[in-house]
Structure 1
Amino acid sequence: MLNEKGPILLACNHPNSFLDGVILDTIFEQPLYSLARGDVFKNPAANKFLTRLHLLPVYRTSEGVENLSSNYETFDECLRIFRQDGIVIIFSEGRCINEWHLRPLKKGTARLTMAAWGSEIPLRVLPVGINYSSFRRFGKNLFINFGTFINSNEVDLTLPEGTRYQAFNQLLEDQLGQLVFEIDKKDKEKQRRLLQLSPSTTEWIFFFIPAMLGLLIHAPMYLPVKYLTLSWTRHNDHYDSVVTALLLFLYPAYLVALSIIAYSFTKSPLSFLIILVAPLMAWAYVRLKPQLDR
């Protein structure tokens, strides 16, 4: 599945902001393009940076009616990508919400699919369910479920436009409903049953000491990032994405700083092994740490 060639539209749920697209782009062999909320493209520098990351803007009415015409340009770009056998990610629910629940599907996926099929592009639509064990902890368990391809012969293309959209969305919703976990945030027992992967006794024996060292080494960097991000994202669902972006830049600098501090005390070149050993200790901690949100 991960080696499939386009033209493919990955129709996904959207539980965790930019992290959803980043993860899919990481695991697929072919580079992916992803549709993203348009308001983050308003800054020219951000627009240039995000475009280089293969992100394409989609505007909602709440982001300015004057921007809606730009969606036609984005859809035209998607069709160009499909003609070159590319793969595009679309989040069929529209808005991102941290939850284990499939929300009603918007028309965007159906509209883009019908435009491709109407242009005689042999597009295949692949439903993808993305499920996280946590929206606040790092080192989370991730369950990505793939459905079966939806092809043009499964929808009567002679139907009126609105009826075609409804027929397509029903096919997509039927599959996504089986791929996306349905868990109430208060149902801790179901969360443990579906999302938790308990470490074995052997893992506890081998990883406990490295894990505790990893906790001590990384806490001075991670905790400020965590609480600062919580204050920034108190009213939205972008916590994981912001933390990931910050750590991507701060963690290498933190490891170098630790190595320099250690060297200043020991005068030993072995101090720079911290750059290699500390991530392994962090990995050991991830194996044993709590996996679910409180």
Structure 2
Amino acid sequence: MFYDIIQLPARFLLKFFIKRLEFTGLENLPKSGAVILASNHSNSFFDAVILCAYFVRRVWSLARGDVFKKPLAKKVLSSLYMMPMYRLSEGKEYLGDNDDTFNKCISLFKQGEMVLIFSEGLCTHQTKLLPLKKGTGRLAQKAWDDKIDVVIVPIGITYNNFNKFGKIVKVNIGKPMQKEEFPQEATEGMFLKEFNRILTEKLNALLDTTLPKPSFWKNPWYYIGLVINFPVNALATGLSRKLTRGSVFFDSITAGFMIFVLPIYWILLALLIYFLTKFV
């Protein structure tokens, strides 16, 4: 799959876009077994890009359903292990497809896979947690009803900005939550309410506004890239601003552009240097 091909290159190439990236709690990620990664969602697809690039285990992601409507987009996103979740605003006719996605998740859990869900259900550029939707609780409940020993790992992602090149990002990973931490004998409505209350507390504790300070030695690639990659940086930033004006996709478009264009740029630059040194 495309995910497996680009994961390591993407991890390296992101160093030229992110000035400082810090993870805490990586030891809390189970090395095996079924996992629901329950994260906040303030920066569109870029949230998933960071987690999928840096987590050693393969991550399947739930993403907004409207981007899957075009056949080519659906094919590309599926190759990146993304699955659609539709909202009512995207059309009633698509809501039934959510059952297929949930069933796919249950199948993945039975295989011991890890699924990322953004528990707020929508993305806006904010630093505070929005009220959680019911999707995470319903997915966990369905898995537990099917006797699958899935754990919930809360994740808080914090950014210093959402629309500038060279950002600081902190990812805090909480301890896995077991089935026993949630109400066992409750109606569906009471279970989901208590589930969201507990998860909200965990996520709020992980949203850290004290971001690490940038340093050349923490990420020298970023500072070297400011000089060497200047044409690509400028083109990616300018193009993204035009395409994403008024939306939440600036980082997603900019990072995606750089991941695919930087290797081509480096090859062309190397060829130019080669010919200049050979024939001049």
Picking from 247, 257, 261, the partner of 1:246 is 257
Q: Which amino acid aligns with 2:249?
A: H
Partner of 2:234: 223
Of 213, 223, 229, the residue aligned with 1:197 is 213
Question: What CA distance in whole angstroms lies between the structure 2 residues aligned with 1:253 and 1:26?
Answer: 20
Offset at 1:218? 2.2
Q: 1:41 aligns to what?
A: 68
Maintained 8 Å contact 1:19/1:240 = yes
Cα displacement string for residues 157-182 of structure 1 (whole angstroms, at most 9, x for unaligned residues): 32111111001001100111101136
Q: Give the deviation of 1:244 after TM superposition.
A: 1.1
Counterparts of 1:214 and 1:17, CA distance in 2:
25
2:17 aligns with none
Alignment partner, residue 138 of structure 2:
111
- The residue number in structure 2 matching 1:232 is 243
Shift of 1:139: 4.1
Match of 1:6, as an amino acid?
Answer: G
The number of equivalent residue pairs is: 250
2:45 match: 18
User: Structure 1 residue 148 and structure 2 residue 175: aligned?
Assistant: yes
User: How far does residue 102 in structure 1 lie from its aligned partner after superposition?
Assistant: 0.8
CA RMSD of superposed structures (Å): 2.1
TM-score with structure 2 setting the length:
0.83
1:50-129 alignment runs, 5 A limit = 50-129=77-156
The CA distance in 2 between the partners of 1:28 and 1:160, in whole Å, is 35
Q: 1:73 to 1:216 in 2, by over 3 A?
A: same
Q: Deviations over 1:203-251 (max 9, x none)?
A: 6xxx7xx95x753432222212211111111121111111111111211
Can you give the 5+ residue segments of structure 2 that lack an aligned partner in the other structure? 1-27
Structure with max Cα Rg: 1
Question: Any residues of structure 2 matched to 1:159-174 within 5 Å, and which?
Answer: 159-174=186-201
Shift of 1:3: 5.0
Alpha-carbon distance between aligned partners in 2 of 1:257 and 1:27, rounded to the nearest angstrom: 28
CA deviations 1:104-151 (Å, max 9, x no partner) are 100111111111111111111111101123323344332111222222
Work out the CA distance in 2 between the residues paired with 1:140 and 1:170.
31
Does the 8 Å CA contact 1:8/1:85 hold for their aligned counterparts?
A: yes
Secondary structure, counterpart of 1:144 in structure 2: strand
Higher relative contact order, chain-length normalized (CA < 8 Å, sep 6+): 2
1:36 maps to a residue whose letter is A
Aligned to 1:286: none
Contact 1:2 1:27 in 2 (8 A): no
Equivalent residue of 1:128, what SS? strand
Does the CA-based 8 Å contact 2:153-2:177 persist in structure 1?
yes
